[in-house]
Each structure stands twice: as structure tokens, then as C-alpha cells.
Structure 1
Amino acid sequence: MIEEVTGIKKIRMLYLQLLYRCNFTCLHCFHGKRLQYADAFTVDEAAGLLTLMRDEYGTEAVTLLGGEPFVHRDLAQVVRHAKEELGLRVEICTNGYRIERRLTEIAPSLDLLRVSLEGVGSTNDGIRKQGSYKSALEALRLARDLGVPTGATMTVTSRNIAEVLPLGRALAQLGVRQLKLHHLRPVGNAADHPELLVTSTSAYGRLRDELASADLSLEVIVDEDLSEDGAPQVCAPSDGPREIDRIEVDPRGALTMSCKAVGKDAHAFWYEKAAGRIVHKPSSVDELTLAVPDVVYGRA
């Protein structure tokens, strides 16, 4: 159905939000009140969508996230099915809070563990949860010892913009391969915390100058909205792209192609779990009607 409407033939990665439920209530979380919702994918529902994406759109990889994916009781089954039955590259994005036992269980089937952090020590804990920084570093150490490659994500805010480099150095010491920096979008919990917004884009310019001159031993990937001029315009074929890097599905089944539309109910497609099919449900505010651009990433 996606190809019929958009012409897109290949979607490299599926971002699969297994559930809304989380053991954190981060100040910037785009889910907001939905963190309390019970919607979740069962193993069979997740397997059905993954199979459909691989067979119809050539999907090669899946990133499992939530909510908090390690809260999902059947995470190990989903991971093993994706890796061993479908041959997909499997990544998990997690808060890393007390995941040691389950991480050890799934490590042989995991290609990347990405942990979300929002600064060093108390800065991170003030945005995420008390004790979360220490726990996240412990998870990264364990992954390293288990032979699982690691990465990290950080949403840049007014509270933590000065700690990007210190965090990068701390992560590099743990063997983390990549730090991905996101721009804060005022949806969900972030809409209730406007103080987190960086109000002067010149701060982004200074950050990028610091990153350019820093000798970090890990790769830094930057949302290009984190710049004084914002993200550049990306030229796409006049009749639309034939291939996209990712599509994200929320626990209800709503599919979103643009990161800038995630959390805004701007989806034009829906995965019907019971029927095992994707349907087109256009609206006046969907990402196709409004031509919502995707996030542009670059290397710092």
C-alpha cells in the first residue's frame, strides 16, 4: 500500500515501538500522556509486521524501542525472531536502566545497543530519572564485555548543551562507537517544558565549532536542525523518492515516515494488526498532505 500511494519501493529500517509503557517519565519524551497507555505489540503482531516489511519493502534492519523495550515481557522472543528467523539486523534503543539480566540473555542476537543519555551525572538524572546515569553506564560496560557494539543518543536542550563534549568523552572511554544528537521537538512532555528549548540558534553554532575542534574517538551524528541556519533543503525526485531510510510504527500501528512527524498523529498509513496489512488513511494533517520533511543527519 505504501508503494501504491508514494512510489516508495524500499524502506531500509523499521523503528518498532513495542509499547508505550516505560519505567521513566523523561521531561522531553515525545510520548507524553501516552506513556500510560496499554497499547503494545504481541510477538505474533511484531513478527507479522517485520515479515511484511522484509518481503514487500526489502527492510534489512529493525530498531526496537518504546516506551522502554526492556519492559516488554517478550522482548527476547521478538529479538530472536527478527534475527534468527528473518535475518534482520537488530538494534535496541533503551534507557539502560537495570537491564543487565535481559541484555545478557539476548546479546548473541543483538547487533547494536543504543542507550539514551541527556548529559553527565545529575544533569542526565534531572531530565530522566535519579540513578539513571550510573545504570546506563553499567549497561554500556556490560554490552562491551558481551561483545555487543554500542551507541548513544542525546536530545540537545538548554540544560545539557554544554555537556555534549563531556558526555562524548565519557562514552568514548567505554568503547561507545557513536553519539547521535537530536533536536528537541516540542511535543509530548517537551510541550510542558518550554524551558528546555534552546532559544538562541547561535548556541548550536558554538556547539558545532566545539565538535569540529574536539578530538573525540567516537563518531558524532548530528540532526542538522542543530545549526544556526537549520537543516538544509534536500532535493528529492519530482515524483517522490523510490527508497527511504526508515519508517516508524507506534504501539497502536500508526506508521510515520518523517521523524519530524513522530508523536504528532500525522501518520498517513496504519498497520492493522489483526488483518496483518498496511492501509492508507489520509487526513488533512497527515505527513503526506502537509509534505513534512524528514530529519537530515550529518557527521559533526
Structure 2
Amino acid sequence: MIKEVLGIERIRMLYLQLLYRCNFDCIFCYHGERLKWRDGYTLTEAKNLLHLLRTEYDLQAITLLGGEPFVYKNLAEVLRYSKEDLDLTIDICTNAYRIEKQLRQSGRHIDLLRVSLDGMEELNDRLRREGGFASAMRGLELARELGVTTSGTMTVNSWNVDDVIPLAYRLQEAGVSRLNLHSVRVVGNAEEHPELALDAPSFARIHEVLETLRNAADLRIELRLDPDLETGTVEGDKSCEIPIEGDRLDRIEADPRGGLSCSCFAVGNDRNAFWYDKAANRIEYRPTDQDEVAAYLAAKA
């Protein structure tokens, strides 16, 4: 159905939210109250969706998300199936809280372990969960021992801008290859903390920090920025377009209910036009006048 509506023949990456549940309750999490929802994929549903996208859209890679993917009881089997049966490249985005047992069990199937941290220990644990920083460091250390490539993800907000530099160095010491910097979105839990939003002075400070990092001869970790951080757009959500090149969609995200989002404009906002019907194992088009596809087609007209 995506093919019929958007002319898509290939999809590079599926971001698969296996479940909403999480062992953290970060104060900026865009899921908000949905962290309490029980929606999620059964093992069969997850495998069906992966197989459908692999066979019909030549899917090449997946990023497993939550909630917290290591809370998902069938994670090991999803990883095994994705790697051994479908030959997909596998990233997993995690808070790395007490994941050592599962990492030892399934590390061979993981191409990239993306660990979320939002500052040095005191601030990170204030934003996320007490003990989260130390546990993440243990997870990164084990991944290094197992030969699993790691990266870091930081949600930049008005509180943690000055922790970007020390965190980059700390992650480099831990053997992390890359640090991804994302802008906080004032949705979900962050609606209760509007002070976290980035304003013009915050963006100015971010660019001072980035300039320092780029000029640091002893910093080798790769930095990747969201477009809104790169350009200094305060309301970055509005610039999230559907990433189509020719007949290829760069990424699509599946939420635990089956909602499929093609742009970050729709993620967490229920502005998706496509749905994966779990029972029927098919993708459906359910358009509204406010969805991301309507906005995309209007812009193309």
C-alpha cells in the first residue's frame, strides 16, 4: 500500500518500537502516558512485519526501540530471526540498564548498540533514573569486551548543553564510535517540563559547544546532529519531511499499536496515514486531512 500511495519500491530502515513499556520514566520521553500502555508486538507479529517489509520492500536494516527493547521478553528471538533468517543489519537503542545477561546471550546478532545518555552521572540520573549512568557504562564496557560496536545518543535540552563536551570524552574513553545529538521535543513527558525546550540562546550555546568539539584534536568520536540542531531551527518538528529519494524511503517507524510513520513529524503525534494490521499481516492506508502523507502530497502539488 505504501507503494501505491507514495511510489515506494524500497525501504532502507525500519524503526520498530516493540513495546511502550520501559524501566525508565525519563522526564522528556515523547511517549508520555503511553509508557503505561500494554500495547506491543507478539513474537509472531514482529516476525511477520519484518518478513513483509523484507520481501515486499527489500528492507535492509532495523533499529529496535521501545519503550525499552531489552524489557521485551522475546528480544533474543527477534534478533536471531532478523539476522539469521532475514540477513538484516541490526541496531538496538537502549538505556542499557542491567542488560548484561541479554547482551552476552545475543550480542553476536547486534551490529550497533546505541546507548541513550543525557549528561554526566548526576544530571543524567536526574533526567532519566537513579543508577542509570553507571549501569549504562557497565553495558558499554561489556559490549566492548564482546566486540559489539557502540554509539551514544543524547537528547539535548536546556539543562544539559554544557554536559555535551564531557559526555563526548567519557564515551570516547568507553570505546564508543559515535555520538548522536537530538533536540528535545516538547511532547509527552516534556509537556510537564517546558523549561527543557531549546530557545535561541540555547541554540547559540550548542553551536559554541560543537565548535569546541570540532576543533578538539584529541576528540575522535564522530558527532551526528539532528537537522534542527545543525541549523538552529527552534521548532524543528515542522521541518521533518518524508525522506524519499527516487523510489526509496529511507526509514519508517512502527509503533506498538501498528501505526507506521514515515517522518518525525508523525512520530508520537498520531499523524501517520499507514497502519500495519497485525491480524491480517498487511499494511493499510487510512488517510486523514491532517496526516503526514496529506502534508507531503500537498507540498508536492
Q: TM-score, normalised on structure 2?
A: 0.92
1:265 aligns with 2:270: yes
- Which of 207, 210, 224 does residue 208 from structure 1 map onto? 210
**CA 1:12 to 1:236, structure 2 compared with 1: closer, same or farther past 3 Å?**
closer
Q: For 1:187-207, what per-residue CA distance to the aligned partner results, in whole angstroms no more than 9, with x for missing partners? A: 111121111112223223323
How well do the aligned residues superpose, as a CA RMSD in angstroms? 2.1
CA shift at 1:173, angstroms? 0.6
Matched residue type, 1:225: D
Query: In the alignment, which residue of structure 2 is the partner of 1:296?
Result: none
CA shift at 1:111, angstroms? 0.9
Moved over 3 A (4+): 231-237
Query: In the alignment, which residue of structure 1 is the partner of 2:73?
Result: 73
Give the secondary structure class of the aligned counterpart of 1:225. Answer: helix
CA shift at 1:236, angstroms? 9.5
Structure 1: distance between partners of 2:189 and 2:239: 28
Query: In the alignment, which residue of structure 2 is the partner of 1:247?
Result: 252
**CA 1:4 to 1:132, structure 2 compared with 1: closer, same or farther past 3 Å?**
same
Query: In the alignment, which residue of structure 2 is the partner of 1:198?
Result: 198
Structure 2: distance between partners of 1:206 and 1:34: 36
Query: In the alignment, which residue of structure 1 is the partner of 2:134?
Result: 134
**CA 1:121 to 1:276, structure 2 compared with 1: closer, same or farther past 3 Å?**
same
Query: In the alignment, which residue of structure 2 is the partner of 1:28?
Result: 28
Query: In the alignment, which residue of structure 2 is the partner of 1:295?
Result: none
Do the aligned partners of 1:208 and 1:227 also contact (CA within 8 Å) in 2?
A: no
The runs of 5 or more residues in structure 2 that have no matched partner are none
**CA 1:101 to 1:205, structure 2 compared with 1: closer, same or farther past 3 Å?**
same
Q: For 1:201-232, what per-residue CA distance to the aligned partner results, in whole angstroms no more than 9, with x for missing partners? A: 32233233223222321111001211454379
The runs of 5 or more residues in structure 1 that have no matched partner are 293-300
CA shift at 1:184, angstroms? 1.1
Between Structure 1 and Structure 2, the one with more helix by share is 2
Do the aligned partners of 1:39 and 1:251 also contact (CA within 8 Å) in 2?
A: yes
Do the aligned partners of 1:204 and 1:228 also contact (CA within 8 Å) in 2?
A: no
Query: In the alignment, which residue of structure 1 is the partner of 2:47?
Result: 47
CA shift at 1:91, angstroms? 1.2
Matches within 5 A, 1:162-201: 162-200=162-200, 201=203
Give the secondary structure class of the aligned counterpart of 2:211. Answer: helix
CA shift at 1:284, angstroms? 1.7
1:275 aligns with 2:280: yes
CA shift at 1:265, angstroms? 0.4
**CA 1:229 to 1:91, structure 2 compared with 1: closer, same or farther past 3 Å?**
closer
CA shift at 1:86, angstroms? 0.8
Matched residue type, 2:73: R
Structure 2: distance between partners of 1:286 and 1:206: 36
Matches within 5 A, 1:4-153: 4-153=4-153
CA shift at 1:260, angstroms? 3.0
CA shift at 1:67, angstroms? 0.2
Give the secondary structure class of the aligned counterpart of 1:260. Answer: coil
| Identity of matched residues, % | 49
Q: For 1:226-248, what per-residue CA distance to the aligned partner results, in whole angstroms no more than 9, with x for missing partners? A: 145437989999x9742122110
Query: In the alignment, which residue of structure 2 is the partner of 1:222?
Result: 225
Structure 2: distance between partners of 1:171 and 1:8: 38
Structure 1: distance between partners of 2:190 and 2:254: 20
CA shift at 1:112, angstroms? 1.0
